[in-house]
Every structure is written in structure tokens, then in C-alpha cells.
A and B are shown apart, each in its own frame.
Chain A
Amino acid sequence: MAAIPRSLERLAAEFQRLPGIGAKSAARLAYYLLRSSDEEAERLAAAIRDARAAVRRCSVCNTLTEEDPCGICSDPQRDATILCVVEEPGNLAAIEKTREFRGRYHVLWGALSPLKGIGPDEIDVAGLVSRVTPEVREVVLATNPNVEGEATALYLARRLKPTGVRLTRIAFGLPVGGDIEYADEVTMARSLENRREL
């Protein structure tokens, strides 16, 4: 007497696990895929499979890449003396769009949050510390301007202070509590330009 076939329900349930997808959108996506052609559904499945097989983390900066090291880390034109620290690859992409930053990156994969059980060992602090060699002049802390991102920037500043490297915090014209992934390009460019010393 089930109104919805079990396999359809399972597909919708998988969609609902994705970030930003509620029950209604999940059901809509599931129905859409069942109505679409075999070819279209197969294309989506193949795209997921291929991306998962081809994409890995850059062994230098942790961003997602098909080649290791990534395009930025292997580009001799990029300034290796300045490192920009971000929480997620999406943040890196937002900064790249502005074309204002010519240095390299370090992706932490998260921010400190004791509530979620995330401490310095759960994000890549160790990797960052090991990358701050004497030839690095500046570390730009570009974690998100919310409580967790600010605390992460403060923590990294304390950890890196003994190295004597110049530490700057991106100056947000963004609403506090925001996410730099969603900042418009002009705001983002200005934030980089006006970064302040920590």
C-alpha cells in the first residue's frame, strides 16, 4: 500500500543528505531523474563516478585537483612567499575569481569548532605550520568572518607568531557571520586589498 516505490524513496533520501537539499527538493530531483532519458541519468551517474575517481587533494595545498600538485602550486608565476589560508576549496575559488591574489594557498578543510568536535588536529594546521618556511614572508588568514572562522584565524596567528612571519587578516566588508564563498567579487577584492596586520 506504499504510495511511493521503495527505490524512488531511497533515491530521494540520498538527495536529502546533500547540503542545502530539503525533503521537497529531494523528491523533485528524484522524480525528475526518473522521468528523464536513460542517457541523461547515465551521464549524471558517470559524472559523479569520474569526478570521484579523478579528483583528489593537492599534496601541497590540500585543494581539490586532478593533477598533483595542483595548477596553482605548480605555477612558477605564482608568488611562493605569500600564503593565503582558507577553510574550503570553494573559498579559494572565490578569491581566485578576483584575480587580485598572486600568491599560493593552504586549504584547512574546516574551522575550529569544539561544539562539532573539531580541534587543531581535525583541520590541517600541521601542514600549514610545516609550509611556513623562512622563505614565506606573509600568511593571509582568510577564514570566514563568523565566530568559528575568527577563532581559527586567532589560533593560527598564535601558532605562527614565533616564526616571525608577517600575519594579516582579510578585512571583511562582508556581513559578519557570512561566508566568503558568497561574497561578490568587488567586495572580495577590496577585502584582500585592505587586509590588516595581526
Chain B
Amino acid sequence: MQLFDVTTQGFRNLTPDPVSFGAGITLVAGENAQGKTNLLEAVAVICGQRSFRNAAPAEMARDGERFAVRAVVAARRGEERVAVTWSREEGRAFARGEKAAGFREISELAPAVFLAPEHRELVSGSPASRRRFLDRLVVGIKPAAGDDLARYGRALKERNALLSRWRLSGGGAEDELAAWTEELATAGAAVRRHRRNALESWDAEFRALAAEAGGDLADVRAACTAASDSPDEIRAACRRLSGLEKKRGHSLAGPHRDDLGWTRRGKPLAAEASAGEIARTVALARLAEWRSVAAASGEAPLFAVDDFDASLSEASAEEFFKALPRRAAVVLTTAAPASRWARRADAVIEVRRGTASGPRTLRAVRA
């Protein structure tokens, strides 16, 4: 997947000039606070993803009120014009050509994998960020599974609304709760099955990459904490926790409580790994995501790395460039002078005060 003519309106400090990301490595260079990460964030948003800095839309809108990002997505199926607009009154809306589209349709059309310094949370942060990683993996590998994720989300919200009302009113008809528990169990089991399948294909890629990296990384493992993906497990847990759920006013069992556990030789990774090891583990996790999504969809996702050389020694840079996906559009931002990595790149974009100049094409990119 390649992105052409990316333009923004009212997005952070970016000016509306078009920028393109063709095949090969595009280096986005600029000093801090000039807007290179903003540009990458705009790319994430047009690909139907959330900000990798976990920014809310209002933060991305320069005036806090509205923004728009447009681009031409070039994929195997041809070229299509996509747009995302956000405004405080109307929320977020996607368009594909002239027609309105859902975010899942867009993220399937424009697959992309992002790696940013913030993603260390994938190992050392809260379980919620790891569940987001799992679910992104699920829809990347099997877009139709998104329906089941949405179904579970909806069942969970409904059931929580009931429990929270009961907490205030002191209870209600058990048959009503039982109906929502059943919906939760059915949809929840489907979510766990999707996660298990996605994790399986991801894990094969991750192990291969970890083994290649060698050293202490070779023994890093990730596994889902869910014991079973049968609806009976969720039903039984809801029965067991029923008293506590009514007291707390929300659901305490199901895939929204699962986690992805990272270990090395049986010990929790976050507790014993150095910051550098965690950063490299996360990089391998994203590369494995790229590979498994590419294998499942037949489309090479865009691969983007924010501040890619922040903690990269000259020696590990060699290893990093070697590991980058081939035949994909790769976007790397750096605070270093463009000249430092230019010989590795196919095109260079320099960002100053929100304006991107380039791409200065170093080799023919768009055949």
C-alpha cells in the first residue's frame, strides 16, 4: 500500500501542501517540534487508525474544532481517494471516493503498521494497550472479525449499563441479566477465538524474528492470559462473580479483562528487561504484525516508525534497516540531519515549521 497526495487541513501545525509516500524508504527529517511526527500522525489517521500518541481528535485539530486529512491510496486493487474529517459537532467521518465509509473499511483499504516510542507501553504499560494491539492484529489479519469485536463491545456496554443501574436501584430481574450474560459469553468467546488465531500467526513471525535477533531477545515470548475460548468459561465466571459484579456495577469477566503476557524464560519481561530490550521487543512485535498482516491479506501494509533512530547505535542501525519490510512503503522520521541517513533512503522529506518539502526523490520510486 502506498499513499499519494496526503493533504491536511487544520491538522496540528501542518500546512496543506501534498506529501507522498511511495515504495521504498521515505525519510522524514526535521528538528523537534517542526511537525514530522504530526505528519506521521496524519498518516495514521487517514489509514483509519488512532493516534499512536493516544491523542484525542480535539488535540489534533489546530483550532480544537475541526480537521481534515485526504490522500490517494494505491493498493493492489487500484487507486482510491480517501478522506477523514473530524469536527466537534459531527465527530469523525470517513469517505471513500464520494461515499461515506466506516473506519474498518478504510483500515482494510489502507493497511498500515506504526511503531513509535510510546509503544513501549505494549510491554510495560497497561493491559488496555495490549488488548488494542491484539484487536488491531485481529482485524488486520481477518477484517470480517471486526463485526464480532463490535458485537462484543456493544454487549459489554449494554450489560454494564444494566449492572450499573442495578447497583443504584438494588437489583432487578435475573432473567434480564442472564440474557445479557449470554450475549456477552457468545460474542466474548468469538473475540477470544479471533485473538487466539491472530496471535498464532503473529507468534510464528515473532519467534522467527526473535531468533534472528538472537541474544536475550531469542527467549522472549508473548501469550494471551485467557485460559479458554469457550462461552462456558465466560458463563461460569459471570456466575462466580455475580455478587461482586452487582456491587461494582460492571462486568468482571470476558475478553475485555484479558491481557497479553510477556515473559523471558518464564519471568515477566517488564520487570527484568532494560529499556533498550523493551524497545527492541516492541519493534520486533510490530515487524511480526506487519508480516502476519501482509501474509493474510496479500497486501504489503505501509510500515511507519516515529523517531526511528532515537535509541539506535550505529551498529544496531545496520540490523534495523536489514529487518525492514521489503516491497513496502516504509516511512521513518528522524530528528537527525537528513544527510545522516539519506544514503539508506529512497526519498527524503524535510519538515520545517509544519511545511514538508519534498519528497526529494533519490531513486525512481513510482515505477
**Which of B155-163, B275-283, B312-320, B357-365 sits within the interface?**
B155-163
Within residues 141 to 187 of chain A, which ones have a CB less than 8 A from any CB in chain B? 146-148, 150-152, 154-155, 158-159, 176-177
For B151, the chain A residues whose CB sits under 8 A away are: 147, 176-177
**Which of B120-128, B169-177, B295-303 sits within the interface?**
B169-177
A119-B158 Cα distance, complex, nearest whole Å: 11
The reply to whether B172 and A119 form a contact with Cβ atoms under 8 Å apart is yes
Interface bits A115-144 vs B (CB < 8 Å: 1, else 0): 100011000000000000000000000000
Given contacts A151-B155, A177-B147, contact A158 B179 (CB under 8 A): yes
For A154, the chain B residues whose CB sits under 8 A away are: 178-179, 182-183
The reply to whether A119 and B176 form a contact with Cβ atoms under 8 Å apart is yes
A120-B176 Cα distance, complex, nearest whole Å: 8
Is A112 among interface residues, defined by CB-CB distance under 8 A?
A: yes
User: Which residue numbers of A lie inside 8 Å of B, CB to CB?
Assistant: 112-115, 119-120, 146-148, 150-152, 154-155, 158-159, 176-177
The reply to whether B179 and A114 form a contact with Cβ atoms under 8 Å apart is no
A115-B157 Cα distance, complex, nearest whole Å: 7
The reply to whether B175 and A158 form a contact with Cβ atoms under 8 Å apart is yes
**7 closest pairs, A vs B, by CB?**
A155-B179, A114-B161, A114-B162, A154-B179, A147-B154, A158-B175, A115-B161
Nearest CB to that of A115 among chain B residues? B161
Given contacts A120-B173, A120-B176, contact A151 B150 (CB under 8 A): no
For A158, the chain B residues whose CB sits under 8 A away are: 175, 178-179
Nearest CB to that of B153 among chain A residues? A147
The reply to whether A151 and B179 form a contact with Cβ atoms under 8 Å apart is yes
User: Which residue numbers of B lie inside 8 Å of A, CB to CB?
Assistant: 147, 150-151, 154-155, 157-159, 161-162, 165, 172-173, 175-176, 178-180, 182-183, 187
For A114, the chain B residues whose CB sits under 8 A away are: 158-159, 161-162, 165, 180
A55-B159 Cα distance, complex, nearest whole Å: 36
What is the CB-to-nearest-CB distance from B99 to chain A, in angstroms, rounded to a whole number? 15
Tell me if A's interface is mostly helix, strand, loop or mixed. Answer: helix
A112-B162 Cα distance, complex, nearest whole Å: 10
The reply to whether B176 and A147 form a contact with Cβ atoms under 8 Å apart is no
For A120, the chain B residues whose CB sits under 8 A away are: 173, 176
Known contacts A176-B151, A177-B147; can you find 7 more A-B pairs with CB under 8 A? A112-B158, A112-B180, A120-B173, A147-B183, A150-B183, A151-B182, A155-B178
For B158, the chain A residues whose CB sits under 8 A away are: 112-115, 147-148, 151
For B165, the chain A residues whose CB sits under 8 A away are: 114
The reply to whether B180 and A151 form a contact with Cβ atoms under 8 Å apart is yes
For B175, the chain A residues whose CB sits under 8 A away are: 155, 158-159
Query: Can you name 25 A-B residue pairings with CB atoms under 8 Å?
Result: A112-B158, A112-B176, A112-B179, A112-B180, A114-B159, A114-B161, A114-B162, A115-B157, A115-B158, A119-B173, A146-B154, A147-B151, A150-B183, A151-B158, A151-B179, A151-B182, A151-B183, A154-B179, A155-B176, A155-B178, A159-B175, A176-B147, A176-B151, A177-B150, A177-B151
A151-B176 Cα distance, complex, nearest whole Å: 8
For A148, the chain B residues whose CB sits under 8 A away are: 158
